[in-house]
Amino acid sequence: MAGWPSQQRAEWISILPGISAALDAGSPVVALESTVITHGLPRPLNLEIARRLEAEVRTAGAAPATIAVIQGQVRVGLDDTTMEAFALDPNAIKASRREIAIAQARRLSAGTTVAATMAIAHQAGIRVFATGGIGGVHRGGSGDVSADLPELSHTPVAVVCSGAKSILDLPRTLEWLETHAVPVIGWQTDELPAFFTRSSGLELEVRVDTVGELAALVLQTWRVSPSHAVLICVPCPEEAALPPGEVESALMKAEAEVEKAGIRGNAVTPYLLSRMAELTSGATLQANLALLRNNARIGAELAKALTQQHSLS
């Protein structure tokens, strides 16, 4: 029907029976990424939060579908035994869209980034994805742009996040999204959240305050632009958010260490996040955990509202 992106499920994806049944029934399903498990959080906290995020989605009335590559097999939904083994696997790589086939061919396990999770979720027929923060345009003159951004411009999934990670160039990231016609919606906020902090000083043109209004806007966006994602930006819960100055101070110190050590590529973000947690005595880690749980809950509420509104259309 109009406003509901269609996608035949890819044969190269293995979907957990419970998730497959929910999709067949038209029930709400929320995709969850897995680089937060493999590269975003320390062990064994990563396993605890992975389970907690799934519980948040279930409690809010949707089915959680954690997406990962397990020994070369793309999985949509992980049973608990597989989740535990995956979370404790020190050899799991980080896979964006371009690395999915490599992991498959070489029978590797991989945590999927925002871009990879979006691509797989869409291929599986899942329309809502909840994460922490998206990648974006990096600071400085390197010209480095995360693969997350182009994925948002051509994959119709509703992405619930807390903006782009604070370590990025947020004005240039927002400009990139505008240039490529990706709708950026503030959830009960008038400005772009900055991951660990609730505000960035960057004004958003669209704000929604209810999940019903959000679902209607997402569906109408897909009627007009059926190949675009919709980015829903949710501020970090107030009780866990950090002042912008504290985050910037820790980031500057961590960036100086990255430059001195010559750290490059996809190792930069995990290092910065880990080092900032140390420099803030764990405050950024606690903010990360709080916003992940909050976004999972809001993602489930959106998935339910989309299902209900679509069934009435």
Residues recognised as catalytic:
33, 165
Handedness of CA 126, 127, 133, 138 (dihedral sign): positive
In this structure, what token pair is assigned to residue 275? 């080092």
Q: What are phi and psi of 111, to 5 degrees?
A: -85, 135
Q: How far is CA 223 from CA 125, 155, 206, in A?
A: 17, 14, 18
Q: Is 195 left (phi over 0), alpha (psi -120 to 50) or beta?
A: left
226 φ, ψ (degrees, to nearest 5): -70, -5
Residue type, 76: V
Please identify which residue in the block is written with the tokens 């490599």: 102
Residues 6+ apart with CB under 8 A from 301: 60, 61, 211
Contact 75, 82 (CB under 8 A): yes
